[in-house]
């Protein structure tokens, strides 16, 4: 079985790093959301990682980003089974990610209220509180985990408005998605509009979402 396509646009770390460098060579700034908001460039890739399962895997990707001269926005969950935001290994990994120049935000979980009671707004606020307690600060932005479970864009917009004293954006705002910025995602290990490496010089500005779980060094089984 061939794990890396002949065009080099698979899910290996080598493919990933080469793609980032292709954007850099083509003159793109590749940065986090906060850097984009601070200094948007005519050619700009906003790089986002939603951290579903493993903080160690996210740290590997964060190091690759930095090695390629890029920064990224990394969104962490409060309710993840694979890592504990309060644990020393998680906090140490987050500290290293920030030292590498990356932004850490909140990956909001939905659907819990339907099992345990309470509405989604209440559970979102609890997650915000836990993030702030763990990291000792607020966050600039958040992304929704499985957005349909949390009411989609309307719910995210309402949260942003209520949190606007400290929070500057959410990842699904219209200013960050198609058609304003081309939006590409590897959700479920599938690039629905083609690998992000195919979009170099096809659009001037884009948001690319990856989930570190799908990326590997030699074989996918490294991650499960």
d(CA 175, CA 26): 23
Do the beta carbons of residue 40 and residue 194 sit within 8 Å? no
CA distance 92 to 105: 16
Give me the mean pLDDT over the 157-173 stretch.
Answer: 96
Q: What three-state secondary structure class fits 194?
A: coil
Residue-wise pLDDT tens digits, 36-53:
999 999 999 999 999 998
Terminal C-alpha separation, the chain: 18
Residue 149 gets which letter from DSSP?
Answer: G
| Six token digits for residue 19 | 């793609």
CA distances from 78 to 52, 108, 133, 198 (A): 10, 8, 11, 34
User: Model confidence over 124-136: pLDDT tens digits?
Assistant: 999 999 999 999 9
Neighbours of 15 (CB within 10 A): 18
CA atoms of 140 and 169, how far apart (whole Å): 7
Q: Which of helix, strand or coil describes residue 146?
A: coil
Q: Provide the token pair at 193.
A: 């509009």
pLDDT digits (tens, 9 = 90+) for 138-157: 999 999 987 766 668 888 99
- Assigned token pair, 41: 């460039």
Helix (H) or strand (E) holding 31: strand 29-31
Tens digits of per-residue pLDDT, 59-96?
999 999 999 999 999 999 999 999 999 999 999 999 99
Helices (H), the chain: 13-25, 33-38, 55-67, 88-99, 113-116, 120-135, 152-162
Q: Residues 168-195: pLDDT tens digits? A: 999 999 999 999 999 999 998 999 999 9
Mean pLDDT of the chain: 92
């Amino acid at each position: 079985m061939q794990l890396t396509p002949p065009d080099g646009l698979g899910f290996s770390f080598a493919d990933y790093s080469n793609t980032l460098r292709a954007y850099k060579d083509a003159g793109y700034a590749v940065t986090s959301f906060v850097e984009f908001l601070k200094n948007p460039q005519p050619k700009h890739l906003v790089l986002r990682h939603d951290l579903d399962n493993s903080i160690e895997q996210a740290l590997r990707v964060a190091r690759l980003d930095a090695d390629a001269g890029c920064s990224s926005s990394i969104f962490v969950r409060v309710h993840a089974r694979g890592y504990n935001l309060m644990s020393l290994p998680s906090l140490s990994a987050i500290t290293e990610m920030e030292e590498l120049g990356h932004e850490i935000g909140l990956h909001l979980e939905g659907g819990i209220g339907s099992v345990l009671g309470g509405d989604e707004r209440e559970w979102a606020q609890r997650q915000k509180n836990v993030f702030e307690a763990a990291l000792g600060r607020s966050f600039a932005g958040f992304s929704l985990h499985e957005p349909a479970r949390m009411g989609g864009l309307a719910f995210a917009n309402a949260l942003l408005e209520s949190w606007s004293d400290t929070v500057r954006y959410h990842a699904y705002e219209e200013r960050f998605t198609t058609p304003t910025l081309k939006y590409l995602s590897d959700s479920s290990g599938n690039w629905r509009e083609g690998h992000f490496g195919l979009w170099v010089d096809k659009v001037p500005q884009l948001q690319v979402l990856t989930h570190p779980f799908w990326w590997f060094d030699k074989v996918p089984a490294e991650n499960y």
